[in-house]
Structure 1
Amino acid sequence: MNPNLLEDRRFEKIHTIIQEDSKKASLFVANEIAGLIQEKQKEGKKAVLGLATGSTPTKVYDYLVQFHKEGRLSFKNVITFNLDEYYPMQPNSLHSYVRFMNEHLFNHVDIGAENVHIPDGSLSPEEIRDYCLDYEKKIENVGGIDIQILGIGRTGHIGFNEPGSSLNSKTRLIRLDRVTRLDAASDFFGQENVPMRAITMGVGTILSAKKIILMAWGEGKADVIQQSVEGQIKESIPATFLQHHNNCDFVLDDASSSKLSRIQTPWLVTECKWDDHLIKSATIWLSEKLNKAILKLTNEDYNEYGMGNLVAEIGSAEQINLKVFNQLQRTITGWPGGKPNADDSQRPERANPHPKTSLIFSPHPDDDVISMGGTLLRLVDQGHNVHIAYQTSGNIAVFDDEVIRFLDFAATVQEDNVELDKKLKEVREFLASKKPGQVDSEEIQKFKGLIRRGEALAACRYCGVEEKNAHFLNLPFYETGTVKKRPHSEEDVKITYDLLNKIKPEQIFAAGDLSDPHGTHRVCLEIIYQAIDLLKKNRQDWINNCYVWLYRGAWQEWEVADMEMTVPIGPKDMARKKNAIFKHQSQKDSAMFPGNDEREFWQRAEQRNKETANRYNALGMAEYEAMEGFVRYHFNFN
């Protein structure tokens, strides 16, 4: 949270607790749960927990397991009821919530098997109604749920209570919303493999819990959190029903809370302590709210929208306008590597040295061209020594048929190659019997990685990046063959550290696109940060003269108020950027993991780049075809 904001919650109808990041927020929730369990133990009572699945609560379970292994927490007095389960679903399936809960919690603590309750997805349709009634009775017989933890879906669903669920609904079989199935598609390796139905606790069941904790992480949840906390209660957003509960907390990280009024527009809520960034944010917001260029805003405009004290503090609207206009103007540069022989005091990048060595980190083999392809082309065109580091192989995002297609080609080229023919036959047999979500063999994972490597090299050649400057790191944390990855390790950091120390770039570009629903971008960025910290610790002085620029675009764009460098892209360079993206043919037309946006990545990138340019234009800046935005990472040199 911004320390310059004086907190006021007048628009919030649910109590919110905001932590800096999901790790701290998860620890907070784990401590709440552990505290309840320990309190009940002292009283000789059972602690009844309502549990959720999905990516949101996994770190909470990690902490609870840690508490148990440290001898701080026993689960012998704990009874659990899970929110939901896909239907149909066998308990031993890769995708079952029984398996999820066992892997993340139950197999690692001392809870009795008889105290664990998870909806049974293996029932016949005729058995479901009675089973759901019995599930409700079991909750009632143990005195109700003490703490119910929840995540929240993009549609505002809690559990699998989709839009249209009623306030008093109980445990039942429901049909999943299209958006919910789309969001689950990556876990099932394709939307067509996601079950159409699920068994879920009802809204009424959830509201009967004595305490509710809803957790949300990331910018992708910010809109639905704002609507749930500040909006009207309505069936189209089931999470708004939680406003009826008198003991409900929303535990959020900074990103998921970013659309709350006290965070996004605090001047509408209370008095503010104004700093340059808040002034910039408020002025841009006002300009867009009134559809007026910044230099046209008046004292009356500021006064009408809660910023009278800012005008009084600065002196006049004209002074504020000019201040913010100049700040925005200075972010725009056609020289992302710095303009040689120019005054760089008001430019985002330094003039010297020129040319620079620029290192672009790409979490997946196509993020570089998707998110900053126009800037990449500009750096090459202006003579900089551009390197690209592909942090992961991206192998799980390749369709099975691509492997067969490439092996078919190889077998055709090398006729009568017995070994190759044998290999092709083995691959065909494996893939023909492969089940949705089944992990590929190591050999097939390698083939898929090579396909993406070849595409990345094709994009490098097209952009003018020398092939020797393409570095394929294949970071170990990623190489699981599944959507779920390992935690990153010292080995991941060392690989990154060694590359940085070998190249010694004057510029680093890294993906700050933390809305990536699969988390790879977040992990890749954390690895870079740790490598930089290690370089500083080891007194590698060259890092002190290196600028680190963070890009977005694959999943979401920076807010204009946050952008510290914006690079205009003309029609010709936008066409070149799209052509570079098209080199990644295995991701073209239909990506394995499209996330919640069904458009192709080149379409998303083009639209976001054009939107950024349109926003700058509406604010009164020069009109461009498109723009890519960057935020500088200001690391501590101590």
Structure 2
Amino acid sequence: MNHNQTFSPVEMAFYKESNQIHTSTLIPYITVDNFPKLGLITACRFLEWVSENPNGVISLPTGKTPEYFIKWTKFLLENWDNKKGKEVRQKYGLEKCNKPDLSNLTFVQIDEFYPISSKQANSFFHYVQKFYIEGFGLSPENAILINSDEIPLSGGRHFKEVFPDLKVDLSLRFRDPINELEKIQQESIYLIDEWCGKYEQKIREKGGIGFFLGGIGPDGHIAFNTRGTQLYSTTRLTETNFETQAVAAGDLGGIEVSSNRLVITIGLETITYKEDAVAIIIAAGEAKAQIIKDSLENPMSNIYPASSLQKLTYGRFYLTKGAAIKLKDSLDNYFKEGTWTWDKTERAVIELCKKLGKYGDRLKLEDLKNDKYTAMIPDLAEDTVEKVIESTVLKLQKGTLKQKNEVILHTGPHHDDISLGILPQITTQLQENSNEVHFSVLTSGFTAVTNTFIIDTLLQAKKLLDNGDIQMVKYEDFFDVGYKLKTDKDVYHFLTNVASENEYQRVRGLCHRLIRAIVGIYEIKDENGLRETINDLISILRNSYDGEKNPSKIQKLKGMIREFEEELVWAHFGVQVKNVHHLRLGFYTGDIFTEQPDKKRDVEPILNLLRKIKPTILSLTLDPEGSGPDTHYKVLQATAEAVRQWNEEENLENFRIIGYRNVWFKFEPFEANVITPVSLGDMSVMEDSFANCYLSQVKASFPSYSHNGKFSTVAKRIWVNQLQDIQLLLGKNYFYLHETAKVRSSHGLIYTKDMNVQEFLTHARELEKSIEGFI
């Protein structure tokens, strides 16, 4: 298929800006710099299509993926004829388009959990109503939607009667029911199947979907068409796989819920039915890089559902550079374009070691000359690999240097980010008494705490109160000022009982902190008020549906539990509560789309902390593409602005910024300039502290799609894999015969990027530029 003549004016405008349209893959793709810009190109292409197809059929995604698509679409519609809107339209190929009228479009809902009430804010039906029907001014009458409350079931019953535990057993399609309820359920499943067929028919009667936009899951799913889905599948009720359940856990209130919930989804054939359909998949960040490569570079296959877009002339992938990083022509462009850098030499040599399965010292000059990328290295010679080895050894030496007389501020977007990212580095810093070390988590993190966890803890607190085991409530001044005091004692008490393996006393320590938090948040004045409030909280939470946004005071309570957990982790190493700073930035609200950081509300707390502590070293998560949760790059924006302002006030010539990554987004060896050895002891400390302190996370209600368990296990695996890459370059004997015990004990490695202020601000500025149009 010749794709060269099929690009629209919008796509060509982005091509002119960045020269990043690629047609060598089986589906063409376009790359942009970051996640917000992904929303811009998608919004422009959507409005371009609507201006030509005002009566067309569209299908748009739900979740966090389309955040900037929605924001840019609304921005352009609201500013079409003013100066700001015209500038964007002229730059990105919309200057000849009339302002689109979206009111006559037919909207098709892509998918939905089943069963779920359409009234719940975490249902996709509710999302579509809010952001597309109302938000874009689409016609409700034209919409083809999935409303679980209205899908016919046996005897006209509601799904709560038919499926009282909200579980649907699809084996009833093929076996005899064993009781009356199962008979009703079987009849209902057949009715749902019939409804799905009619849903598909409605779409086809409209001529099929003309404009489809979707994200891609970690297993390659589009809509809920998971790995293994038939390429000619249609709308149906179906199960999902673990990767999909892990991604959906955030919407549904935990993996415990999402693993038991089915879905109704349009099929791959539904998406590709209309031959001239525009179908776009968007993806950001290196976490998606492998599945993007598999989907674009392999022939059409049910193993890679998104490969079904190969059927369409106007099938496209819009990607950030990180998401495209493993694609063959992306690699070609990286090495061929611009000046040759040392990073390119390192990357080419390490990749060659992997390709050939050879240790660095066994690579011959002939191997380098025969490889497409290493052959490009200027002044290629016998000692080229040796120089790369020397460069990598230097990075390892930096990672073993002991820091002294430093004031260090470690920051993270969420609780556990710092520990999962660089704990082994931190333990070394804390062992040096001349260092002053502080920690700050910048958001409240309440969304990671399930209602079930809080209910269970509240019930335990009630029981302890009844048994007289919370003596502090009897103290005269407790409800006035006492509840604010002795927070270090809570932490010490808890960890002492971790050591003595006294589960009852550990629970008591957690409940102490929970009660202090409740008294402060709800301004409670006596023990009776405390008991009433605990009962009220249990009632509110029990009557909430899984995944429901909590009232602000319960959000604060959940956040304070996470803050206690963070204090416990660092108290392992003697860090006092006063050195753990909880900033609770205001942009973090628990809404589907968190706000952009505000320069006063969100930047000032960070700036004031910098002024107060005056760190010489600052660590932060460096996730400029939004590969992990959106909180990461929003915190990065706020931190960058605080550093910029502080730099104007102070002479930060010697100030160092350490960028780290963890389970969401990983450095490649050539990107990092410091490599820290990790011993089995380091791994055990990280795993033990995670299990003993991050109490709300141990059951992994919101796991990584790569592992059904604790995040600490994912982090450990990353460290081990990173060692294997470097071992291939340096040889295993470099490690086990090394002169220092620290390197000899290496069974994992951590990669970090050490930057000065200007280097860091350059990274952050690219992200800021991409979103400043509508902020």
Provide the TM-score with structure 1 as the length reference: 0.88
Which of the numbers 438, 442, 448 marks the counterpart of 2:552? 442
Q: Does 1:57 align with 2:66?
A: yes
Which letter does structure 1 place at the counterpart of 2:438? H
Which of the numbers 198, 202, 221 marks the counterpart of 1:157? 221
Residue of structure 2 in register with 1:402 after alignment:
457
Paired residues for 1:413-492 under 5 Å:
413-414=470-471, 417-480=527-590, 485-490=594-599, 491-492=601-602
Q: Tell me, what secondary structure is at the counterpart of 2:229?
A: coil
Q: Which has the larger radius of gyration?
A: 2
The 2-side partners of 1:205 and 1:10 are apart by: 25
Residue of structure 1 in register with 2:351 after alignment:
285
* Cα distance change of structure 1 residues 534 and 213 upon mapping to structure 2, 3 Å threshold: same
Paired residues for 1:130-279 under 5 Å:
130-194=194-258, 196-209=261-274, 210-264=277-331, 274-279=340-345
Give deviations 1:565-584, integer Å, cap 9, x for gaps.
11223344444344443442
Q: Tell me, what secondary structure is at the counterpart of 1:242?
A: helix
Q: Does 1:534 align with 2:645?
A: yes
Q: How many residues align?
A: 612
Q: Does 1:67 align with 2:76?
A: yes
The 2-side partners of 1:512 and 1:405 are apart by: 39
* Cα distance change of structure 1 residues 246 and 109 upon mapping to structure 2, 3 Å threshold: closer
> Does the CA contact (< 8 Å) of 1:402 and 1:586 recur in 2?
no
Instruction: Return the offset for 1:375.
Output: 0.6
> Does the CA contact (< 8 Å) of 1:456 and 1:583 recur in 2?
no
Residue of structure 1 in register with 2:52 after alignment:
39
The 1-side partners of 2:559 and 2:681 are apart by: 31
* Cα distance change of structure 1 residues 588 and 157 upon mapping to structure 2, 3 Å threshold: closer
Q: Tell me, what secondary structure is at the counterpart of 1:495?
A: helix
Residue of structure 2 in register with 1:344 after alignment:
none
Q: Tell me, what secondary structure is at the counterpart of 1:82?
A: coil
Give deviations 1:575-631, integer Å, cap 9, x for gaps.
434444344241453133213122312222222223323332221163223322102
Per mean C-alpha deviation after superposition, the further-off stretch among 193-202 and 354-363 is 193-202
> Does the CA contact (< 8 Å) of 2:420 and 2:712 recur in 1?
yes
Gaps of 5+ in 1: 341-353
Which letter does structure 2 place at the counterpart of 1:24? K
Which letter does structure 1 place at the counterpart of 2:567? L
Q: Does 1:635 align with 2:760?
A: yes
The 2-side partners of 1:162 and 1:315 are apart by: 46
* Cα distance change of structure 1 residues 541 and 110 upon mapping to structure 2, 3 Å threshold: same
The share of aligned pairs that are identical, in percent, is: 24
Paired residues for 1:580-619 under 5 Å:
580-587=689-696, 589-596=698-705, 597-619=707-729
* Cα distance change of structure 1 residues 304 and 121 upon mapping to structure 2, 3 Å threshold: farther
* Cα distance change of structure 1 residues 27 and 405 upon mapping to structure 2, 3 Å threshold: same
Q: Tell me, what secondary structure is at the counterpart of 2:750?
A: strand
> Does the CA contact (< 8 Å) of 1:532 and 1:543 recur in 2?
no
Which of the numbers 110, 119, 126 marks the counterpart of 2:146? 119
Instruction: Return the offset for 1:290.
Output: 2.0
Residue of structure 1 in register with 2:110 after alignment:
83
Instruction: Return the offset for 1:473.
Output: 0.5
Provide the TM-score with structure 2 as the length reference: 0.73
The 2-side partners of 1:142 and 1:135 are apart by: 11
Which letter does structure 2 place at the counterpart of 1:275? T
* Cα distance change of structure 1 residues 166 and 495 upon mapping to structure 2, 3 Å threshold: same
> Does the CA contact (< 8 Å) of 1:504 and 1:543 recur in 2?
no
> Does the CA contact (< 8 Å) of 1:609 and 1:626 recur in 2?
yes
Q: Tell me, what secondary structure is at the counterpart of 1:285?
A: helix
Residue of structure 2 in register with 1:92 after alignment:
119
Instruction: Return the offset for 1:27.
Output: 0.6
Which letter does structure 1 place at the counterpart of 2:750? E
Which of the numbers 131, 138, 146 marks the counterpart of 1:104? 131
Q: Does 1:294 align with 2:360?
A: yes
> Does the CA contact (< 8 Å) of 2:250 and 2:547 recur in 1?
no
Residue of structure 2 in register with 1:387 after alignment:
438
Q: Does 1:363 align with 2:413?
A: yes
Residue of structure 1 in register with 2:30 after alignment:
17
Which of the numbers 570, 575, 588 marks the counterpart of 2:679? 570
Q: Tell me, what secondary structure is at the counterpart of 1:474?
A: coil
Instruction: Return the offset for 1:289.
Output: 2.1
* Cα distance change of structure 1 residues 446 and 410 upon mapping to structure 2, 3 Å threshold: farther
Instruction: Return the offset for 1:221.
Output: 1.6
Residue of structure 1 in register with 2:660 after alignment:
551
* Cα distance change of structure 1 residues 589 and 207 upon mapping to structure 2, 3 Å threshold: same
Gaps of 5+ in 2: 1-13, 81-98, 154-187, 475-526, 736-745, 766-775
